Each structure stands twice: as C-alpha cells, then as structure tokens.
Amino acid sequence: MALQALLGCVALLLAAAAAGIGLAQRRAATPAIYGVALATSVAALSLALGALLAPPRLAATLALPIGLPWLGAHFRLDALSAFFLVVANLGGAAASLYGLGYGRHEEAPARVLPFFPAFLAAMNLVLVADDAFTFLFSWEFMSLASWALVMAHHRRSGNAAAGYLYLLMASFGTLALILAFGLLAGWSGAYDFAAIRNTSPSMLMGAAVLVLALAGAGSKAGVVPLHVWLPLAHPAAPSHVSALMSGVMTKVAVYGFVRIVFDLVGAPYWWWGALVALAGGITAVMGVLHALMEHDLKRLLAYHTVENIGIIFIGLGLALAFTANEMPAAAALALTAALFHVFNHSVFKSLLFFGAGAVLTATGERDMERLGGLIHRMPQTAFLFLVGSAAISALPPFNGFVSEWLTFQAILLSPALPQWLLKFLVPAIGALLALSAALAAACFVKAFGITFLGRPRSAVAREARETDRWSLAAMCTLAALCLVAGVLPAWFIDALAPVAQALTGSHLPERHGLDWLTIVPIAQSRSSYNGLLLFLLIALAAGLAAAAIHRFASSRLRRAPAWDCGFPDPSPATQYTAGSFSQPIRRVFGTVVFRAREEVHMPAPGALDSASLHVRLRDLLWDALYVPTARVVAFAADRLNAVQFLTIRAYLTLVFGALVALLMVLAVWQ
Amino acid sequence: MIDRLALDIAHLCAGGLVLVSFMLLYQDRLTGLINTFALHALVVSFSVAWQAYIQQAPQLYITAAIALGVKAVIIPLALHRIIVRLGIHRSIEPVVSIGQTMLAGIGLVALAVMVMLPVTAQAGTLAREDLAFALSVILLGLLMMISRRNAVSQVIGFMSIENGLILAATGAKGMPLVVEISVAFSILIALIVIGIFLFRIRERFETVDIHLLHQHRGEQP
C-alpha cells in the first residue's frame, strides 16, 4: 500500500509541475506550488518512515503496464529505498518550506516553479524504480529537471557555461549507467532488477560494472575527477534548489551506486573496496582543498559536498572490502557509517545552503570578501549557520561527528583484513579522512568568521535584514535535526539496521539495557560514544564557564576598539579576509596541488599607484583530463564536419562501404 | 519432398537473377537499361511463381503476378515514356569503368556466398542458396546505385534491390502477402515521386545528371 501511495505522491508532484507551467505568472502560484510540494513531501516522508521503521516482511512491489511494452515499469520499496526516500523527502520538505519564503524573491518564477516539483518527483521515482529502464528514465528525468533549474538564471554570467558542463557530465554519467545495466542484463536482456539479482556476472564483467557504476553514479555524486561540474552547477541554481541538488540529488546518486554494487552485481572482490575507498579518500581531500581556496560562499559549500561524498564513498569502499572478506559485522559498521553520513550530510548541507540563500537574499552577495558582520544584522541566520558549520566540521555533539567517528571505527578494523594492500591502504585513507576533517573545520571557521563576524566589508552587508519566517522555520527544523541526530544517534542507527541487514547480512548491535543511548560499534572495551552525555558535558562546561565569566567579570557592556593593537584604522579593509585566512593552507598544499603562484606588485618608491597581490591557481585535473578531451572532440568534430556536405552518391557509397565491411567481418569471424 | 529438378530450377532462376543484375551493370544506354530491368523483373516473377509451385503456397502467385504486372510492364513503360519526354537517349557514363565494376560485382557475389552459407547452415537447402543469391542481387543493386550518375539509372538500381528482397523473402517461406503488396505499392509510389522529381530537376537545371545538382548546392565550384 505504501508503494502505491508513494507513487500517488509522485503523480501529485508531476501534476503540480504541470500546473506550475500554466500558473507561474500568477502571484499566488509560488505559495501554492511550494505548499503542495511541502504537503506531498511530508506525506511521502511519513510513508517512507513507516516502511523503514516497521518494515513489511516482503518488500512491496508493483508493476505498471507503462514504459517499454515487453518490460513494463516495475517499482519496489525495500529498506534501502525507504531509507533514501526518507532522506530525499526530508530534504524536499525542507526545501519546499524554505521556498515558501525564498521563492517570493524569485525574479523569474516561471523558470523555477514547474521544474521544482518535477525534480522532487524524479528523485522519488529513481528511488523506487525496480527495472533498468524505469531507473534510467527517472535518472535522466532528474538530470534534466535539475538542469532546467540550474539554467533558471541563465543570463547571469557563468551560469550558461555551468549548465552546459552539467549537461555533458550528466550525459556521460547516464551513458556509463546504461552500459553498466547492459552488462548486468547480459545476453538474455533481463532488465528487471529481480532477474538481474538472480544472475551472477563473471569476474571481468563484475569489475566492468563496478567501474561503470563508479563513473556513472560518481559523476552525479561528484567523485573526483568527475566532480568538475558540481561546484559550478550547484551554486548556479536558486538556493533551495542548490540545497536539493547538494543535499539530496548527490544522495540519489549514492543510492544508484549502492543499489548496483551492493544489491545487483553479486558478491564483491576485495580490490573493489580498495578502489572505491581510494576514490573516496582522494575525493574528500581534493574537495576540501578546493573549498578552502574558494571565496564564493555557495561554491565553497558545493566543494564541501564533494568532500562529504568522498567520506561516504570511503565508508562504502570499506563495506565492500569487509563483505568480500566475509566480515559481516565490520561491513555493517562501515555501511551504517556511510548511510548515516548520507542522512547527516543531507541535513546539514541543506541547512548551510539555506543559510547561504538567506545571506544572498539579504545582501545579493555570494562573495565572502564583500560580506562580514552579518551576525549583528541577521542573528538567527548566523546562529543556525553556526550549527550547520559545527555539524559539517564533525564537532560533537552534532550529527556529523557521529558518522565520521563510525567511519573511523571501521577504518580501525582494517588490520583484521587479510590482504596486505588493504592493510596498508586503509590506514592511509584514514589519514586522508582525518586531514579532510581537520581542513573542513578550518574551512568553516573561515566561512562563518568572514561572513558573519568582523565588520561589514560592503554597504549591502551593512544594511542586511534578517530573512523571513518560512526560511527560518526550515533552517530551525534542520538545525534541530542536526542536534538530535548527534545527541541520540542510537535511534538513527537502529533505524538503519534493516538496510545494513539486507545488504551485508549483519547490523550494528541494537541498544539495550541501561546504556540505551550509548553506541558501541564493536565492543565496549574498544570504543563507545554517548552523545547525550557529551552534550550535557559540553552544555555544563560552557554554562559554568559563562557563569564564571559573568560572575567574576564586569557585566557592563563596553564598546572598545577592536584588536586595537595593530588595528587602529577603522576601515574594514584592514580586517582578516577569506584570502588571508586560507593563505597558510594554500602555502602548504596549494603549491603542489594547485600550482599556486603569488604575484606581488609593489609600486616604485614615490609612485602613487596601489600595491597588489595576485594569486593564480591552476586546476591540474582540469588541465590534464578535460582540456585534452575537449581538444580531441573539437578536432574530431572539425574533421567530421566535411561528412555533413557530401554528395548523395558519396553518402550511398558510405552506406555501401559500411555494409560490405560488416559483411566482411561476419565472413571472417566465422 | 522437393525433387531434384524443382530445386535445380529454383537455383536456375535465382542464379539467372544474379546474371541479369550483372547485365544491368554494364548497360550504357538508358533504353537498354530499362529493357534489362524488365527482364530482371520477369525473372523475379518467374522465380516467385516457381516457389509458389514447389512450396504449394498459392498466395505467392499473387506476388508473382504483381511483380510481373507492375515491375516488368508498367514501370518500364513509364520509364520509357519519361526518358522519351526528357529526351535523354544519350549514353550513360559509369563512374568506374565497366571492367572494374564487373570485377567488384564478382567480389560482392563471393562475399555474399561466404557470409550466407555458414550462417544459414541449419536452414533448408532451398532457403540457403536463395538467400545467398538474394544478398548478391541486393549488393549488386547498391553497387549500381553508387556507380551511376544518372537519376534514372539510380531508380533502376533501387528497384533491383527491391527485387532481391522479394527473392529473399519468398525463399524464406512465408512473406505475408500484405507486406508484399505494401512493398510493391511503396515502390510504385517511389517511382511516381522520383519521376516527378526528375521532371522538376530537368525543368530547373536542364539535365538529370545528379552530378550537376551538387554544383547548385554551393559547395563545389
């Protein structure tokens, strides 16, 4: 029943999308469309929660006579789908709530309103699809709907290029997935997932499917080196859509990867795990390094999406390695960590993008170098953004800490793996993870500090106004979820048990007895975490410290010159900037990773022109991978252009030549 | 079931069709080309009729009748009228010399036999050989289309391909009549359309040599 109701929600969203085309010019359209989207998402969320928390004994399936005539459309709602549906619809509901307020500032509602519900519907469809055709159709629908949203403000500089790159990479990803499903379907062409599950491909075939799935789902999720479109396209969309793309669509991509690699392809080999975890580790570090170099608030967040996807793929890779070595408990731990991080990242990344959207509405600025001091003008947004920053920086007691801690616990189990490569590789990946976590914290000190603290660097920042109530309500909900999932992680981990059980054959120990809020991934003697205790400790310590300061210090509010030693000039230009904050890290990593070059121009003594400092960064991956590819394509297109202008007889000759060549191949082949 | 003689006659017809296809290749006058095409259609219709007889498939007689009536009589007559009205009785110039075209044709027949005989190892003897010959006829028709410049001879090449298809289909026991009728009509309509085009082209450019058309597209001097 839940599945039918979910499909009903999808149909309702599609109807809202169709209505959005006709109504977009009316004033009432914005609240109506977002209201419908909100109600539908909440309904779908409760249905998915029901399916996850009280799972039926058999997964619900449904076949509809639409789509390919000999295949139909198959849908299925199992624990994995239900979990990702919870993530998707939670993000969808929050974005719709936020859109109720944010959408009023939209200058081109007709370009957003029809596609927003369609995008939500497409993501839901991907998650319940149970045959390759329906999956790929929904996947492509999702890509195109989000592309339309990226192009909503297509006249703004850079957006058209971002949309073009996104379209190219999305096509590449879908192509890889089509090939993966083609290999999975085998000679018999069984595109139904149930039939695919029953066949087990050979080693070579399985490896090819893994690589194709990593390329196809990875390009959508933002795995390095296929991430280049993500930091351009995600920020180009309106902010609530950015939140959906970063927070939810990348998770749908992760779902696609998990569905193919853990469910469809059959038993993994140990080196699959090494490959996936290594890709995750590199993605995490590259994502956060790029984020540190970035001064555009939304693009910084998008790079952090790349980093978090890396963390998720580390967990998935470990789960594969453990599964291949028949260590189900460890595999369940790694998978639970990855899936919990999926949930956590969708919550705090949506929150952060909403915060960035509120700043954008209030000031019209995304460049941090022109913001500052917003904590005085937008105190609530600042506080909520701080919560999100703490969560994404993996600080206890918030949720980001729990999932990263669980990932580390899984890494610490790697000495038990029999393969020497893994014994050496996994600790190295752990080091990459630790590095990225530390750099992420540094990056969010920068993002929060430069944007909200200090003094305003521009007139728009000086005159910013607090955002509307709808947006604040959406952000408050997500911030509360960040805290709850961090303080009471055991509930969330228990909810993940059926998913881990289905995919790895084991799950983390359920909470029991007195220490029902403590999570114990392996054994009490090794490690345990009690979020509530830690939260109380932090609250107590912070409260005591605050009380002590107020008790022993003067409570009178004083305004004194800030940082007066070396800071007597009242111009905001003398403050620390985003560039100066990241300079030490750029010095350490940038010279190698980005070939960073600083050019200092000092005027001659006595000259009146100003000094300047230019930093040049190069994206080596872009130069090494994408530029040559583009050059080859352009060259081939140039050469093949002649084929467009042949005579009729020349075309016939081409057909004839191709036919004869194929017949020759056939004759020789036998 | 099928006695030796029946099989031999079927082979004779199919082989004869290939032979007439070769004859099409070296005709250098339009009148002769059209007459040879009429012979081509005649051989096809006889071949189909023979298949109808040995397979005891009466519906194939209708196919044979259509081939005889439309392709061996009506279309050649129409083409003769067209070329008379266009006033093109001059010799047609093959792009590759006739000797080379014939050699290429022989190569194509060899290729068709090499491809078809192993592929259809399980099929009946009749279908097997017929398919090899039919593929040869199709390839020769294509060769004709690419080796000629004149639009009328390209039309004939196209229709000889269609004859090859009919030969293949009847040999495979059971081309539905509906398909045959629709194919025949589409060929007829194609002829009408192409005929109209020929007049239009001539009116515009005073020739039906398609080589001259390309100059009017602007990419050749």
Cα angle A27, A32, A38; round to 5: 140
Tell me the residues of chain A between 90 and 149 that have a Cβ less than 8 Å away from chain B: none
SS3 assignment, position A529: strand
Give domain status of residue A400, yes or no: yes
A279 and A352 assigned to the same domain? yes
Q: Cβ of B139 and A660 within 8 Å?
A: yes
pLDDT score recorded for residue B215:
63
Buried b (16+ CB within 10 A) or exposed e, A222-254: bbbbbbbbbbbbbbbbbbbbbbbbbbbbbbbbb
Q: How far apart are CA A522 and CA A54, in angstroms?
A: 26
Q: Give chain B's mean pLDDT.
A: 78
Please check the confidence at residue A283 and state whether its pLDDT lies above 70. Answer: yes
Indicate the residue among A548, A575, A600 that finishes a domain: A548
10 Å CB burial of residue B4 (0-12, 13-18, 19+) is exposed
A420 and A435 assigned to the same domain? yes
Alpha-carbon gap: A668 to the closest alpha carbon of chain B (Å) = 9
Cα angle A599, A605, A606; round to 5: 125
Angle between helix A379-392 and A420-452 (nearest 10): 170
Residues making up chain B, counted from first to last? 221
Q: How many other CB atoms are found less than 10 A from the CB of residue A445?
A: 14
Q: Cβ of A645 and B115 within 8 Å?
A: no
Instruction: Tell me the β-bridge partners of A60.
Output: A77
Give domain status of residue A609, yes or no: no
pLDDT score recorded for residue A655:
85
A366 and A479 assigned to the same domain? yes
Beta carbons of A67 and A134 less than 8 angstroms apart? yes
DSSP string, A75-99: EEE-HHHHHHHHHHHHHHHHHHHHH
A71 and A170 assigned to the same domain? yes
- Going by C-alpha positions, the residue among A171, A211, A222 that lies closest to residue A621 is A222
Q: Which of A652, A663, A670 sits opposite B146 (nearest CB)?
A: A652
pLDDT score recorded for residue A513:
47
Q: How far apart are CA B115 and CA A663, in angstroms?
A: 7
Please check the confidence at residue B221 and state whether its pLDDT lies above 60. Answer: no
Q: Which of A652, A660, A664 sits opposite B145 (nearest CB)?
A: A652
Which residue reads 């109720």 in tokens? A100
* CB contacts < 8 A (A, B): 37
Among A644, A655, A656, the residue to mutate for chain B (most B Cβ within 10 A): A656
Can you say whether the dihedral through the CA atoms of A489, A494, A495, A498 is positive or negative? positive
Q: Cβ of A649 and B219 within 8 Å?
A: no
DSSP string, A199-226: ----HHHHHHHHHHHHHHHHHHHT-TTS
Beta carbons of B165 and B138 less than 8 angstroms apart? yes
Beta carbons of B152 and B32 less than 8 angstroms apart? no
> Which residues in chain B touch residue A647, judged by CB atoms under 8 angstroms apart?
210-211, 214
Q: How far apart are CA A549 and CA A560, in angstroms?
A: 18
Element holding A660 (H helix, E strand): helix A648-669
pLDDT score recorded for residue B90:
62
Backbone φ and ψ of B139, nearest 5°: -65, -40
Please check the confidence at residue B93 and state whether its pLDDT lies above 80. Answer: no
**Token code pair at residue A459:** 């007139």
Please check the confidence at residue A437 and state whether its pLDDT lies above 90. Answer: yes
Q: Give chain A's mean pLDDT.
A: 89
SS3 assignment, position A408: helix
- Which amino acid type is present at position B156? I
Beta carbons of A51 and A24 less than 8 angstroms apart? no
pLDDT score recorded for residue B181:
61
Indicate the residue among A548, A565, A584 that finishes a domain: A548
Average pLDDT over residues A486-511: 85
Contact status of B210 with chain A (Cβ, < 8 Å): yes
Contact status of B161 with chain A (Cβ, < 8 Å): no
pLDDT tens-digit series, residues A315-358: 999 999 999 999 998 999 999 999 999 999 999 999 999 999 99
Q: How far apart are CA A336 and CA A508, in angstroms?
A: 8
SS3 assignment, position A53: helix
A382 and A416 assigned to the same domain? yes
Alpha-carbon gap: A653 to the closest alpha carbon of chain B (Å) = 6
pLDDT tens-digit series, residues B96-145: 678 888 899 999 999 988 888 777 776 666 667 778 888 899 899 988 88
Alpha-carbon gap: B214 to the closest alpha carbon of chain A (Å) = 7
Nearest CA in chain A to B119: A670
Of all residues in chain B, what percent are helix, strand and coil, respectively (each to 5)? 80, 0, 15
Q: Which of A648, A664, A670 sits opposite B210 (nearest CB)?
A: A648
Backbone φ and ψ of A167, nearest 5°: -60, -45
Q: Cβ of B219 and A645 within 8 Å?
A: yes
Band (pLDDT 50/70/90 cuts) for residue A59 is confident
Instruction: Tell me the β-bridge partners of A616.
Output: A597
Element holding A62 (H helix, E strand): strand A60-64
Average pLDDT over residues B35-59: 87
Backbone φ and ψ of A613, nearest 5°: -130, 120
> Which residues in chain B touch residue A646, judged by CB atoms under 8 angstroms apart?
none
Give domain status of residue A563, yes or no: no
A200 and A298 assigned to the same domain? no
Of all residues in chain A, what percent are helix, strand and coil, respectively (each to 5)? 70, 5, 25
Which residue reads 């006058």 in tokens? B29
**Token code pair at residue A101:** 């307020």
What does R_g of chain A's alpha carbons equal in angstroms?
Answer: 26
Q: How far apart are CA A241 and CA A255, in angstroms?
A: 19
Alpha-carbon gap: B91 to the closest alpha carbon of chain A (Å) = 19
**Domains of chain A: total:** 3
> Which residues in chain A touch residue B146, judged by CB atoms under 8 angstroms apart?
649, 652-653, 656
pLDDT score recorded for residue A612:
86
Give domain status of residue A78, yes or no: yes
Q: Cβ of A649 and B142 within 8 Å?
A: no
Average pLDDT over residues A485-514: 82
Q: Cβ of A659 and B149 within 8 Å?
A: no
Indicate the residue among A506, A523, A548 that finishes a domain: A548
ipTM of this complex prediction, to 2 decimal places? 0.80
A457 and A417 assigned to the same domain? yes
Contact status of B219 with chain A (Cβ, < 8 Å): yes
Please check the confidence at residue B1 and state whether its pLDDT lies above 60. Answer: no
Contact status of A652 with chain B (Cβ, < 8 Å): yes
**Token code pair at residue A447:** 């993002």
Q: How many other CB atoms are found less than 10 A from the CB of residue A330?
A: 26
pLDDT score recorded for residue B25:
87
pLDDT score recorded for residue A451:
92
Cα angle A115, A119, A122; round to 5: 135
Average pLDDT over residues A594-622: 85
A354 and A466 assigned to the same domain? yes
Contact status of B110 with chain A (Cβ, < 8 Å): no
Please check the confidence at residue B220 and state whether its pLDDT lies above 50. Answer: no
A372 and A428 assigned to the same domain? yes
> Which residues in chain A touch residue B145, judged by CB atoms under 8 angstroms apart?
649, 652, 656
Question: Which residues have C-beta within 8 Å of that of residue A416, sequence separation ≥ 6?
Answer: A327, A330
Give domain status of residue A554, yes or no: no
Can you say whether the dihedral through the CA atoms of B161, B162, B165, B171 is positive or negative? negative
CA distances from A17 to A110, A184, A402 (A): 11, 34, 38
Which residue reads 């993008």 in tokens? A353
pLDDT score recorded for residue A134:
93
> Which residues in chain B touch residue A656, judged by CB atoms under 8 angstroms apart?
142-143, 145-146
Residues making up chain A, counted from first to last? 670
Name the residue range of residue A10's domain: 1-221+232-265
Among B142, B208, B211, B220, the residue to mutate for chain A (most A Cβ within 10 A): B142
Please check the confidence at residue A393 and state whether its pLDDT lies above 70. Answer: yes
Q: How far apart are CA A94 and CA A107, in angstroms?
A: 21
Contact status of B117 with chain A (Cβ, < 8 Å): no
Contact status of A653 with chain B (Cβ, < 8 Å): yes
Please check the confidence at residue B193 and state whether its pLDDT lies above 80. Answer: no
Q: Cβ of B219 and A667 within 8 Å?
A: no
pLDDT score recorded for residue A178:
95
Average pLDDT over residues A257-273: 91
For β-strands A73-77 and A518-519, DSSP reports them as: unpaired
Give domain status of residue A290, yes or no: yes
**Token code pair at residue B200:** 């239009």
A2 and A130 assigned to the same domain? yes
pLDDT score recorded for residue B50:
87
Q: How far apart are CA A51 and CA A48, in angstroms?
A: 5
Backbone φ and ψ of A578, nearest 5°: -60, -40
Q: How far apart are CA B51 and CA B13, in angstroms?
A: 10
Alpha helices in A489-590 (DSSP H): 489-504, 531-552, 578-585
Give domain status of residue A567, yes or no: no
Cα angle A347, A352, A355; round to 5: 130
Q: Cβ of A664 and B111 within 8 Å?
A: yes
**Token code pair at residue B113:** 């036999």
> Which residues in chain B touch residue A648, judged by CB atoms under 8 angstroms apart?
210, 213
pLDDT score recorded for residue B131:
80
Average pLDDT over residues A529-534: 84
SS3 assignment, position B96: coil
Instruction: Tell me the β-bridge partners of B91.
Output: B29
Tell me the residues of chain A between 612 and 651 that have a Cβ less than 8 Å away from chain B: 645, 647-649
Which residue reads 């979020």 in tokens? A531
Q: Cβ of B108 and A664 within 8 Å?
A: no
Contact status of A666 with chain B (Cβ, < 8 Å): yes
Please check the confidence at residue A514 and state whether its pLDDT lies above 50. Answer: no
pLDDT score recorded for residue A60:
84
Band (pLDDT 50/70/90 cuts) for residue A394 is very high
Residue A150 vs residue A513, higher pLDDT: A150
Contact status of A669 with chain B (Cβ, < 8 Å): no
Give domain status of residue A121, yes or no: yes
pLDDT score recorded for residue B217:
60
A260 and A341 assigned to the same domain? no
**Would you call the peptide bond into A225 cis, given omega within 30 degrees of 0 as the criterion?**
yes
pLDDT score recorded for residue B124:
66
pLDDT score recorded for residue B172:
62
The number of angstroms, rounded, from the C-alpha of A404 to the middle of its chain's C-alpha atoms is 15
SS3 assignment, position A402: helix
Beta carbons of A489 and A530 less than 8 angstroms apart? no
Beta carbons of A336 and A496 less than 8 angstroms apart? yes
A337 and A367 assigned to the same domain? yes
Please check the confidence at residue A400 and state whether its pLDDT lies above 70. Answer: yes
